[in-house]
Amino acid sequence: MTIRYLIDTDWVIDHLHGIERVVNRLKELRSEGLALSVISLAELYEGVYYSRDPDKSQVALDAFLEDVSVLGVDEEICKRFARERGRLRKEGKLIGDFDLLIGTTGLQ
């Protein structure tokens, strides 16, 4: 499947919570190919494990992931991360490492 959009953790959370504008937008984009960083997946699993109903949350996450590609962190992504983190550090604009890893996963 072709991947066109890398979705952020917050979008998945909003989708799972039934936020209509997000549900509709992701529905529109699915046919073009959605991906999720493995970092986002780790964040989502924390939400599953510490939710009020982990079994129900796991089922919802599994259903969401059925046609979403999960992208790992490889050496090239690590290099991009390092370059961007260094650039942002020089500019005094550091952001969280997880957010930066997620973002650099989408760069090509």
Mean pLDDT by 10 residues, the chain (108 residues): 89 97 96 96 97 97 96 95 96 95 88
Per-residue CA distances from 20 to 57, 85, 86 (Å): 18, 34, 38
Cβ contact 64:15 at 8 Å: yes
Domain tally, the chain: 2
pLDDT at 2: 81
Residues 42, 84 within the same domain: no
Q: Tokens standing for 84?
A: 């961007």
Residues 42, 81 within the same domain: no
Residues 41, 67 within the same domain: yes
- H-run or E-run covering 29: helix 20-29
Residues 98, 52 within the same domain: no
Q: Collapsing DSSP states into helix, strand and coil, what is residue 42?
A: helix
pTM over 0.85? The answer is yes
Report d(CA 40, CA 8) in Å as an integer: 7
Segments forming the whole domain that contains residue 66: 1-72
Residues 67, 84 within the same domain: no
